[in-house]
Amino acid sequence: DRLREFVADVSHELRTPIAALKMYTELQREGDVDDTTRREFLERSTDQIARLEWLSTNLLDLSRIDAGIYPRDIREGDMRDPVEAVVQALPEVAVERGVPLDSAVPAEPVELRFDRERIVQLMNNLIANGLKFTPRGGSVSVELTQTEEAVTIEVRDTGPGIPADELPHIFERFYRGTNTGDAGGSGSGLGLAIVRPIVEMHDGEIEVASVVDEGTVFRIRLPR
């Protein structure tokens, strides 16, 4: 039953971008389309291709997790590096959304054994979620702290918040909450499903605290 449900959800997620690409292609092939409209179609097609790429990558990762063959490259490093790399890669998205993105990291290195690629993936999913669901004029912030025992990452937003009865389900595949603000029904429901196994890969813990109409904070603790 879970497999059938999973396949149905995947099919539903793939149908939307494929239908959009088909429509844009047919309109250009069959109709008289001016240069302005053609450019608009190309931009929208590019967005849908990016969505398909994101979906395929995350679905592949989930299948590897299920099979127990999720690739890992854990080595000593400075945790500030992947955190700051993601924050510095998203300023255009933040400006477009009208949501300031701030970060705070220690002045000294934050040494830890971790998989850099997976931490980048984790941070990108969390921060992108915050930017997507936080309304214009709100804010998203990232804070990295450390103690002798652990490293903690917090991603905080001032979005619509998550109702208490939905919190236990947010890490389930394809789950979408009802209180999504301006973002509506966008998103695949895969971002957080990938985040949790990445945290577990590092023997860490992830907690979520949220208040409706005030915002949400994801707190990740990675032991040394």
pLDDT (tens digit, 9 = 90+) per residue, 81-112? Answer: 999 999 999 888 888 889 999 999 999 999 99
The pLDDT of residue 14 is 81
* Residues in contact with 128: Cβ distance below 8 Å, sequence separation at least 6, in sequence order: 90, 93, 191
Q: Cα–Cα distance between 131 and 140 in angstroms, integer? A: 7
Distances (CA, A) of 171 to 2, 35, 54, 136: 16, 43, 17, 25
Tokens of 117: 């690629």
Intervals of the chain under pLDDT 50: 184
Q: Cα–Cα distance between 204 and 153 in angstroms, integer? A: 11
Pair 152, 145: CB distance under 8 Å: yes
Query: SS3 sequence, the chain?
Result: CHHHHHHHHHHHHHHHHHHHHHHHHHHHHHCCCCHHHHHHHHHHHHHHHHHHHHHHHHHHHHHHHHHCCCCCCEEEEECHHHHHHHHHHCHHHHHHHCCCEEEECCCCCCEEEEEHHHHHHHHHHHHHHHHHHCCCCCCEEEEEEECCCEEEEEEEECCCCCCCCCHHHCCCCCCCCCCCHHHCCCCCCCHHHHHHHHHHHCCCEEEEEEECCCEEEEEEEEEC
Pair 104, 139: CB distance under 8 Å: no
Q: Which residues pair with 102 in a beta bridge?
A: 141
The pLDDT of residue 112 is 96
The pLDDT of residue 186 is 52
* Tokens 């054994």 sit on residue: 113
Tokens of 191: 């971002």
The pLDDT of residue 183 is 54
The pLDDT of residue 52 is 86
The pLDDT of residue 134 is 93
Beta strands 140-146 and 101-104 are parallel
Q: Cα–Cα distance between 181 and 79 in angstroms, integer? A: 32
Tokens of 57: 């990558």
The pLDDT of residue 200 is 92
